[in-house]
């Protein structure tokens, strides 16, 4: 019985019922902000990985971080113990792109702020971060050009002059760079990296080349990461 009392006493020594409302408030704020951040990542992220699946981790990571900080913030011994525990933790899932790491840091920051009892400050900071993400994405969309890979091929190599193709591309493209050129007795193929100011220029280029060489194959491939 004495051992049970000692156990209960040790577990309640740093606990006060008065802290429950503030903890629940911080927990709620942390969950909402992490959920919103996940939605923003799905909408504005440029990662090629499954953004929806990755964003599901934000909520759990944020509230876990918040709980850890809530436990250790009042105890120096627990803080030092946390440092030792983290030193043996290894993440086995490789972060494929820097953008993923950026959003993970932001998720952890939400948990840290709410766990430290600074929920209001965390909300203000999150609004600023969200505004910066939105503005950056909007600015990027406004200045973004059509960056594409262009492949031109034909089964009649003697009928296609690469110099004429390049001259036509220069008339319509804001940027052009030859990446690859293959030719043999049965085919001729050239690959370019091209930039267009707008979609109309792309259509004009295609029509211009087709007018000179009606039988050649033209393939445009997107070079961005919008999906």
Non-local (6+) Cβ contacts of 119 within 8 A are 25, 26, 29, 30, 113
**96 & 157 share domain:** no
> Could you read off the pLDDT of 27-65 as tens digits, one per residue?
999 999 999 999 999 888 877 667 888 888 899 989 988
- The closest of 118, 114, 142, 146 to 33, measured between CA atoms, is 114
Q: Where does a domain end: 117, 142, 167?
A: 142
The domain of 72 spans 18-142
Q: Where does a domain end: 89, 107, 142?
A: 142
**123 & 53 share domain:** yes
**42 & 94 share domain:** yes
C-alpha 121: how far from chain center: 25
- The closest of 155, 184, 149, 178 to 165, measured between CA atoms, is 178
Q: Where does a domain end: 142, 165, 185?
A: 142
**89 & 113 share domain:** yes
In the chain, % of residues over pLDDT 70: 74
- Considering the entire predicted model, what is its pTM? 0.58
Number of compact structural domains in the chain? 2
């Amino acid at each position: 019985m004495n051992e049970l009392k000692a156990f209960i006493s040790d577990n309640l020594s740093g606990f006060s019922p008065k802290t429950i409302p503030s903890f629940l408030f911080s927990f709620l704020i942390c969950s909402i902000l992490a959920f919103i951040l996940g939605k923003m990542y799905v909408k504005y992220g440029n990662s090629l990985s499954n953004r929806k699946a990755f964003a599901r981790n934000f909520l759990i990571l944020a509230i876990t971080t918040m709980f850890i900080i809530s436990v250790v913030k009042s105890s120096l011994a627990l803080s030092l113990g946390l440092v030792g525990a983290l030193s043996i933790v290894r993440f086995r899932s490789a972060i494929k792109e820097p953008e993923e790491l950026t959003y993970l840091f932001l998720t952890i920051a939400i948990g840290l702020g709410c766990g430290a009892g600074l929920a209001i400050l965390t909300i203000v900071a999150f609004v600023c971060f969200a505004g910066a993400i939105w503005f950056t994405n909007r600015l990027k969309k406004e200045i973004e050009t059509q960056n594409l890979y262009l492949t031109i091929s034909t089964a009649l190599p003697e009928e296609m002059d690469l110099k004429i193709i390049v001259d036509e591309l220069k008339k319509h493209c804001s940027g052009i760079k030859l990446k690859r050129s293959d030719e043999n007795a049965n085919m001729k193929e050239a690959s370019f990296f091209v930039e267009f100011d707008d979609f109309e220029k792309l259509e004009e280029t295609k029509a211009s080349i087709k007018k000179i060489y009606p039988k050649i194959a033209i393939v445009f491939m997107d070079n961005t990461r919008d999906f």
